[in-house]
Structure 1
C-alpha cells in the first residue's frame, strides 16, 4: 500500500516556521515536519529546509531523530538572535535502500533541502551519495561507518561519526600484546561488514598476524546456518576470533557459540565497536550467559557534565515522543546525531541570510525525475562551513578531518556480568595504556601489562595461547635416517620389547625447538627409515624419493642441500655449514739441527745484508778518513775501523766519533735498517723454536688423484659420488660408517689394505679424532 505524500509550498512552509513555538514531529508513518523553536523576533528569521532520512522502525532511527530535534531546540534556545532556522523534513527509509533513495530524491526535488541528515545505514548511503554529488546537497550521516564511503570520492558526503577503519590499529595492538599469530575474521555479509576487512587484514599483517580464515554470516542467516559455520571453525586450530557485525546478528551468533561449546577456556573473542558501542541494545540474558570473557573495542566518550545533563533531558524527551518504549538506552549514535545537527545549524548560520535556492538544469519535458532536480546554489559554501565548524560536542571536540570525525582514543573492555568493564585504552600516539594519564611519554606501547585484570571465556584468568589441536587435524609423517655411525646428529634407539623407536640428536632437538616456537599446533610423528628388523632402508636420496612421491611429508636429518636434490624437494634454510674436507697426514717442518738460527732469513737475504755492512763501511770511510783521525793510519787499520764502525751500530758500541753531517745522516738510516732486520729475525726465530710447523702432505684433490693412494669417505655420502666423478676408481675408494672404523683404516695405511691417510700416534690422538669426528661426522650436513 502506497503511503500518501504530503507536500508543502514555500508560503506554507514559512507560515509553519513562524507559527510553531516548539518542535513538532508527526507520529505517523508518513513524512514528518519539524520546525525549530524561534524567539520573539521570529518575523526576521529565515527558514532553511533540511532533510532527515532514518528508519523509524529501528531503535537507532528513533533515537537519532529525537537527538536531532533536541539538538536544534537546545541550539536555538541558547542562540535566540540567530537569523536562520532549520526546518526538518523527515522521511522514513523503512530499512530499504530503494525507499531511502526515493526519499532523498523527493527531498531534493520537491523540498529543495539544503542538506540531508542520514541515511542510517551504509547500504542506503551508497546511492544517496551520488544524488548529493549531483545536486550539491551535503549528505550528513551520523551512523554510516563503512570505510568505502569516502569523502574523497564523494565530496558532498559528511560522516559525522568515526570510520570503522579507525579502530583496526587498536585491534591489532591487542592481538600483538598477547602474541597471537593467527586470527579468524567473522563478519556480516553486507556493506557494513565488508568495509573494515581490507584495513583490518593489513593492520594484522603489520604485527605478523595472519588471517587464517574469513567467515561471512548473511544478515538473514538462520540459527542452523550460524551453527554450521561455527562447527567448521571448531575444526580449525585457530582460537582467536574477531567479530564485526551489528548486535541483532551478534547476539544470535554468541548464543549459538555458547551452545556448541565455543565460549569455553582457550577461546578468544574480540569485538569491534559495531557491537560494543551498542551493547546496551543486546539482550541482557544473552550478555550474561553467552558473552562472558569477550574483549571489545569501544569508542571512548569522555565523561562530562554536559553529557550527564543531556542524558537526563533526553530520557524525558524520548519518553514523551515514544511513550510505548520503556527505559530507552542511549548510545554513541545518538551523540553523533546531536552533534551533527548542531554543526549543521552553526554552518547555516555562518553562511548568513543569503538566498537558499536551486538552479534547475533541465526543464524540458519527457525526462525522468533524476533529470529534473536542480543544483543547490549554496551547497559548496555550506560544505566549506561544515569543514570549518568546530565546537565541544557530546563526544568531545567536534572537528571534521577529510569529511569525517577522527578519534585517537579507544577503550578496551572486557565483558563480565551484564556490562563491559574497562581494562585499558589505546591511543594513536601511545598505543596501549592502563589509564589516560596526560603525562604519558611519546613511546608507543603494545605491552599486555598495561591491561587490567581480564576474565577470559570459561571464567579463566590464564591468557589463551590462541590455538588448539584441531579436532580433525592431520599428523605430519616425518622421516628420520637410521645410521650405524656418526649418531650425534640423528640417533634412532629401538626397543625390541615394545617395537617402538626413540629418536634423539642435534637435528631432532632443532626440529622440536622450531615446532615449539610455531604460533599454532603442528602434530607430527617421527618415523625411522628402516626395515622391520631395524636396519636402514636406504640412504638420503632414497628418503628424498619417499617425500617426492608423497609417501611422507618431510625428512629431518643432517642432509646436504644439493642442486639435484632441490629439483624434487624444498629445503629449509641451513642451520650448519655444509662443507667437504680432507684429513691427511702432516709433515713437521721444525728443524732439529744446530744451524736452525740460519732458517729465519734466506741465503740471499744474508748475502745482501753482508754486502750492505761493507757498503756502509766504505761510505763512512770516504766521508770521514780525511777529517777524522780515527779513520786514519795504515790501510789495514782504516779497513778494520770502517768495518768495525758498520757492525758495531747494531749495539751502539762504536768508539769512533763522526764529524761529517753526511756521515751522521748515513748512520741514522743504517741504524733504522739494522733495527728492522734484528726485530724481524728475532720474531722469525722465536716462531721456529716455539710454534709447531705442520704442513699437509697433500694440499689439493688433484695431487691426491695423482698419488694413487686409497681414499676413505663416509658410507652413503655424496662425497663418494663426487670422487667418482673426479676419476677416482672404485678400487681406490673405501667407505666407513663410524669413527672407530675410520680410525682402524687410517691406522693400517695403504700398505696393509687401509688408508694412506694417517694420524700421528701421539698424546694428541684422541683430540685429533675429535677433529676427525667434526670434519667427517657426516659430510651430508
Structure 2
C-alpha cells in the first residue's frame, strides 16, 4: 500500500522526499529520533499509513514535540481513518487538524438487511469488502460452469468484468484493475471527525456524491489544519523552530559582475550581488517570506568542484545554493533546479584579428588558386593549338601569339574576350570553361562577403580554453570533437583576456554568461563572440529535492523574463554585450573554398579541353598525312612527265 501511495504522488508530480518505516515494536526514543530528523530536514507535510495503534503513538509524540502546530499538514490513510471512532479520546485530541481518507459505503437496504439477518451491531469496512469480493468470485465461477477448462486468467477476466450492487454500493472495476469506490475525506475536529467531501475515481473532489465540482476550495468544505488555520500555508519547508535558511554561494572571484558576496557594513550580514545574486534577490523578495537567510561562501580549494557543492545540498547540509551553477541531467537526479535564468549553451570568444591587405586571397585555398591559374594557361594553350593555323588573330610573331593567347584566356574571367573563334572545338571548350568561371566567381564573391562581415576563428595549431570547475569541458569534448590535449584551464575574466592577447589560446569556449562578462569588462573592439551552441542548459538555483521553493522561484524567473526585469538586470551588469552581437543571429563561420569541393567542375572542363586538343591533333596529323601524299604523287608525276609538252603527247 505504501508503494502505491508513493507511486500515486509521483503520478501527480508530487515528490516524496523521505520514507520512514516504523514497526509496532519501536520504542519511544526511536520515534523521537525520527521526528528530530524530520525537523532537521524541514519537512512539514506528512502522510501516515499505519494501524490505529501505531498512529495513536505517532500523533501523541508529534504533539509533544510541537509538530501538530501551525504550518504542519498531516494526511492519514484509510488504514487509520476507517477505525477512527474506535480510538480513544486522547488519540483523537492529538490528531486535531489531520486530514484523513476513509472508505465510503452507502447504507443500502441490502446492507441493513444483511446486518439484521446476521444480528450484527457493527460491520467493519474490511468485512463488507470481503463480502462483496466473495460475491463477485461466486458470480464469476457460476458463469464459467459451462466451460470444460477454466484457467486462472479466465477467472480473473470474469471477475474484472463483474458488476453488481453490493453492500458498499456499485461493484465495478475500471481500467481492468481499479475498483470503482468513492472515498470520504475527513477532517479530525473536536471529539471526532467531520466529512468535508469525497474523492471520486477520476481524482476530483466533490462536497456531495452525485454532484460535480462547482464550488471553491477544490470542491471540499473548509478544512481546519493543525493550529486552527483553514488554508495550507505556503512554503511549509522553510523554517522550523526559528532555524535560518542556509544557502551556499560558490565564490572564486573570477567574474564579480556575475556573482560575488558582499557584507553590509551596517548590519554586518552577508548578501549576494552581481547578475546571479540580483536575480535571486528579486525573485525571492517577491515571494514576501519572513525567513532569515544565511549566505555561506563555498570556496573552490583542494580540488573542490560544483558537484561537491551539489552534494552539500543533496545531503541536506544546506537548504539551497545560489550562483552560476550549470543545470545538468546528472545533478537533477539529486537536487531540484529552478528554470534557467541565463542564456542556454556555450559561446566562442576570440580576439579580433587585424584586417589583412591580402584578405581578398582568403576565399580560396592555395591549391584552388594554383589549379585555377593552371587551367587558365591550359585553356590558352588549347585555344592557340586549335586556332593559330587558321585564325589570323592568333598569328604573328611569337611575342604577339603569347600575348594574344594569355589575354584571351584570362579575359574569360570577366567575359571580355574580343577575339573571334573560327573552330567549333574552340567554341565548345570556351563554353564549358565559362560555366566553370561563373560558378567559381560566384562562390568567391559570396565567401569574400562573409569574410568581410564575420570575424573568423583560427584554431589551426592553437588551444581552446574552458573553465576547469564547470561542466563545459565535457560538453565541448563531446560535441565539438576537439582533441583533449588542446584544452586549457583558466579561472577568471583577466585570465581569459591575457590568454587571448598573448596567443596562449586561439579561442575561449565557455558558458555564454561568462563570455558576456568578459565582453562587459573589456573593449568590444578587442574581443568578439563569434558563435554559440546549445550544448548546455544554462544556470539555475539549487534546492533540496521536493522543495516548494524551486517551483515558486521558477515561476518568478518566468515572470521576470516576461516583464523585462531579467533583461534589465543583464544590461545592468553586462550592458556592453548588447552592442557586440545579437544572440538571435549568432555568427556563422563561412567555409573556405577548396579544390576538393569544386573538383567536379575542373574535371569536366579538363576532359573537354583534353578532348578538343586530341581531336585537333588528329585533324593536324591527318592534314599532314594528306599533304605528304600529295607531294609524293607530284614527285611521281614529275618523273613520268618531266615537261608539260611530254605529257601532252
Q: Which bracket does the TM-score occupy, shorter chain normalised?
A: 0.3 to 0.5
- Find the structure with the greater CA-based Rg: 1
Higher relative contact order (CA 8 A, sep 6+): 2
**Normalising to structure 2: TM-score of the pair?**
0.47
**Normalising to structure 1: TM-score of the pair?**
0.41
